[in-house]
Amino acid sequence: MSAQPGRVIAILGMHRSGTSCLTGSLQEAGLDLGDCHTWNPYNLKGNRENQAFVDLHDSILAANGGAWDAPSASRVWLESHRQIARDLLASHAHLPILGFKDPRALLLLEGWKELLPNLEYVGIFRHPEAVAQSLRNRSRMPREQALSLWYAYNRILYREHRRLRFPLLCFDEDEALFTAKVDTVIASLQLQPPAEPQRFYDNELRNYSAVDEGRLPWRLRWLYHRLRRASL
């Protein structure tokens, strides 16, 4: 086994679901993300993604004939992918704790579990209509495609949560409740909350809200409510 950080935490969630907000909050509490993005046009506080992890995930998905917005049924890691992941972990082996956030990781968890049997998780989700609206704004994605992706990603999130019962947050909470629950997660991960947190939750950047569920397919309504029941 190659060198690895003392602990590794994966922040899991669908695209446009509050993963950046959660990751930024954990980073502020001491979670090291390595070299991560701190700004982009659709998230002025940065998506907090380490590009090396994103590139690896994109390469695995492409090798299986898929992409983040068109997942294939097969998501096999080649040995070359495993070696890149080992090298990536080894490059952060000096850290007592490393975090990584990339929504694609949800599609590729089996490979990470093989490499990191003690991998820790924290998850977040958001109402499917709010995600669909955000993806339409960012990527001009049709609603039906966005909803299908929401289900594909969050079905995995729910399955993994049932297996491990890791901290799970809902990004549809109001600011006060959400930030209080983020503090609970920080404590459960044994991170150190800053004395004067910047609070990455920002209503000015959160342009969409959940709307009437009547138009949602039943399986999305069912999964969303299951996630709500499972969340903190």
Distance CA 67, CA 65 (A): 7
Q: Which residue has the tokens 């695209």?
A: 15
Distance CA 68, CA 17 (A): 15
Distance CA 50, CA 111 (A): 18
Strand 120-125 and strand 97-101: the pairing is unpaired
The single-letter code of the amino acid at 223 is L
Distance CA 213, CA 168 (A): 22
**Tens of pLDDT along the chain (232 residues)?**
679 999 999 999 999 999 999 999 999 999 999 887 554 444 445 457 899 999 999 999 999 999 999 999 999 999 999 999 999 999 999 999 999 999 999 999 999 999 999 999 999 999 999 999 999 998 999 999 999 999 999 999 999 999 999 999 999 998 899 999 999 999 999 998 776 666 666 665 555 555 555 689 999 999 999 999 999 9
Distance CA 14, CA 17 (A): 6
Domain range summary for the chain, segments of one domain joined by +: 7-230
β-strand partners of 101: 11
Closest listed residue to residue 171, CA positions, set 24, 8, 9 = 24
Cβ count near 40 (within 10 Å): 12
Report domain 7-230's class.
Answer: alpha beta
pTM of the prediction?
A: 0.91
Residue 62: CA atoms inside 13 Å, Cβ hemisphere, count? 7
